[in-house]
Amino acid sequence: MTDAEKKLWSEIRRKQIGVKFRRQAAFGPYILDFLSIEAKLVIELDGSQHYTEEGRQKDYVRDEYLKQQGLTMLRFSDYEALTNTDGILHTIFLYVNKKDNDPLSSPYEGDRL
């Protein structure tokens, strides 16, 4: 795990945010940084390789596959995970604790910060 992943994992493991997450979870042909089956939520922390054209294309294909499986993807940069962990936790908390089954209307969903 990267330093960013370690930092976020220390905050979301053991149901600290209300649902259980697995780290480095295998799902179909992919390994996901963090997965909550209960919340149908994937959290990805993106390093520099994700900001190349090839990286963006691969992420798009992956995100579409996960969406077809009924999962929602929240993406954040490694930098943000290291410098704004509380903001990321707040976004995850809002998603996990939404009152209805509609996807959270968030500027973060599927976007990189």
DSSP assignment of 82-113 equals HH-HHHHHHHHHHHHT-SSSSPP--TTBT---
Which amino acid belongs to residue 23? R
Provide the pLDDT for residue 106. Answer: 46
Q: What is the pTM of this model?
A: 0.80
pLDDT value for 109: 46
User: ∠ CA(3), CA(47), CA(65), 5° rounding?
Assistant: 115
DSSP string, 39-67: TTEEEEEE-GGGGSHHHHHHHHHHHHHHH
* Residue 36: CB atoms within 10 Å: 23
* Residues of the chain predicted below pLDDT 50: 101, 104-113
The pLDDT of residue 54: 82
According to the model, what pLDDT value does residue 56 have? 85
Q: Tell me, what's the pLDDT at 51? A: 59
Instruction: Dig out the tokens for 82 from the structure.
Output: 């290291």
Q: Phi/psi of residue 69, each to 5°?
A: -90, 5
Specify the residue for token string 């990286």.
55
Report all structural domains of the chain as residue ranges with CATH numbers, in order of start.
3-96 (3.40.960.10)
**pLDDT of res. 99:** 58
